[in-house]
Amino acid sequence: MKINVRLVALALVVAGIFACAQKNNKTAPLPEPVNGKVLIADIYLDANDVCPLCMRYAQVCLIEGNGQAGFSDALTEAFTQKSYGIVKGKISKTGKPDPETVKLYAQLAKKMGAKYLVMPVLYCWSERRGTALSSSQPARVGFHIHIYDPETSKEIWGGDFNEEQEPLSENILDVQTFISRGGKWVTAQELAKEGVMKLIDKFQKAQEKSAADTGN
């Protein structure tokens, strides 16, 4: 029986490409939660321009239908990637967050062994119109994150993120961000995850400075 050398070579090439694709598609192992566990409270959607938790100004826009779910996924992915464990739980109280809401969530976080309580407030969620290569309207997100100590119910850090993606031609000084995004138009969830990661970095630096100042 004659063997078609060309067909065999082609089959080997296709098999190699498929194997590489399968290898690249494997999910990377999640990092160990070395920074402790966090309880992420239910996301509060706010159309007002003042945060109910810190009373600071917030830039609002229309929160589109998938905003709450997309922001929840972004929070989970970012904290997990930053080596925090995620615990989940709910309280019976609903509505605008206030000191009583924080206290109830802090008690739940303590009961579940969480080191931190995260209270997120979403003000803006506008999805990208178009594709990663061509967009008629870029993604925009805006939110506050407040982090509390479950032991005391006291806020230990808070930060905000509000950004609408800009093309490199409009902000040539931000070339590093352009490169880190792969030169593409990101989705609102990708932009939100990026924002949460930046806020976590700021929180960790603040914690390190506090520890250095107190000698702990």
Which of 136, 143, 127 shows the shortest CA–CA distance to 186? Answer: 127
For residue 96, report the phi and psi dihedrals to the nearest 5 degrees. Answer: -60, 130
Domain positions in the chain are 35-214
Tens-digit pLDDT profile for residues 25-39: 455 555 667 899 999
Look up the CATH number of domain 35-214. Answer: 3.40.50
Tens-digit pLDDT profile for residues 175-201: 666 677 677 889 999 999 999 999 999
- Whole-model pTM? 0.79
Which of 173, 177, 172, 213 shows the shortest CA–CA distance to 195? Answer: 177
Q: Which helix (H) or strand (E) holds 111?
A: helix 99-111
Stretches in the chain below the pLDDT threshold 50: 1-3, 5-25
Instruction: Check the CA dihedral 165-171-174-179 and report its sign.
Output: positive
User: Residues 18-23: contacts with CB within 8 Å, 24+ apart?
Assistant: none
Q: Are 57 and 50 in contact (CB under 8 A)?
A: yes
Length of the chain: 216
